Chains A and B, each alone.
Chain A
Amino acid sequence: MKVIYSCYWGSYLAVVAASLHLGLIDFDKYNKDNIITLTMFDKIKNEELGELFFIGTDAGEREVYVMGSKSSGEILQKTFKGIAQIYGFRNDLVCFINLNAYVNGLLFLGVFFHKSLGFNKTGIKLILKGIEKNYNAIKKVVQNVKNEPIYEVTDTEGGAI
């Protein structure tokens, strides 16, 4: 089963959610120092939007990915399920989580300062503030995903992949 955490840029909310999922950052307490050291944090470039990045495998053998999907998260959610079905897989093989609802003003402003104006220090500071503001909400989303039943990934002939 593939779990894809997606947000507008891919390397902020999605990376935090995927890292919470995999236990790479403290689940109970927000820790900004922990977040900025994450391998994929602030690493996805504009030309890499739309690409899946593998982050790790959880205890239930689910593969966890991040992706930057701009404002096409809702569309991609349906596309991936459709494509999985077309290629003979169960459509619940893919769990696509669109985190764009948790993009707030601070995050937007931070990315603008960081990516458009080149004020990296201020930008990252604002981005982290934005993440902190919605940290509990993201934790809830991740917890819900982890509580979902895990489906074995098989093709139409029943062979595991």
Chain B
Amino acid sequence: MKIFYCCYGSAHSSVVAASIHLGLMPVNRIPVANEFMYLPHYDETRSFEIGTPFFMGKDEFNSDVFILGMGSERKLIKKAILSFLTHMGLNSKELLMVDTLHNVNWITKIGGFTSRRLGLISIGRPLTIIGIQQKYRYFIELVNNVKKRELEILNLA
């Protein structure tokens, strides 16, 4: 099964959600700033890479976990992926596309803009981390729900 954590630019919220899913981030406490620095792709994805899916790892159920930046038309891109798979004759039942942008607050948004768009990493990156730390429990909740759904789908298959 394939799980895509999707956000605007695949640099912050999708990376954190995918990392929690894969056990790279804690589920019993809020991580300190340093722990974000070691996450693959965290605050690194460039604008021209939006749209490219990045593989983050395999989870305990052998599902492939990806991150994907969808820009501002997430609904359209999701529909396009499903339509593409259908026309390729591929099964889209074992696929989850999870929007992580709901968990992003304005601090992370400003931080992301400052770091990724303006290139002011030393100011923007810490802001993205503070914002995510504030909403971290929602990320854990989201991943828990995704795993429940994942198990339901795998049991049905």
Q: Which residue of A lies closest to B50 (CB)?
A: A75
B102 within 8 A of A: no
A116 within 8 A of B: no
Residues of B within 8 A of A74 (CB): 51
| Contact among B53, B70, B77, B83 for A52, CB-based, below 8 A | B83
Q: Which residue of A lies closest to B87 (CB)?
A: A52
Chain A residues with a Cβ closer than 8 Å to the other chain, count: 27
A133 within 8 A of B: no
Residues of A within 8 A of B68 (CB): 79, 82
A83 touches B83 (CB 8 A): no
B77 touches A86 (CB 8 A): no
B79 touches A50 (CB 8 A): yes
Binding site for A on B (CB under 8 A): 2, 49-53, 55, 64, 66, 68-71, 73, 75-81, 83-90
Residues of A within 8 A of B49 (CB): 78
| Contact among A49, A50, A54, A82 for B51, CB-based, below 8 A | A82
| Contact among A2, A50, A87, A161 for B80, CB-based, below 8 A | A50
| Contact among A63, A70, A78 for B76, CB-based, below 8 A | A70
B53 touches A72 (CB 8 A): no
A70 touches B73 (CB 8 A): yes
Complex CA gap A74/B47 in Å reads: 11
A82 touches B52 (CB 8 A): yes
Extra 19 A-B pairs, beta carbons < 8 Å, given A52-B84, A87-B90:
A2-B87, A50-B73, A50-B75, A52-B83, A69-B76, A70-B73, A72-B80, A75-B51, A75-B73, A78-B49, A78-B51, A79-B51, A79-B70, A79-B80, A79-B81, A84-B88, A86-B64, A87-B85, A87-B88
Residues of B within 8 A of A89 (CB): 88
A71 within 8 A of B: yes
**Given A70-B73, A86-B2; A79-B53 close (CB under 8 Å):** yes
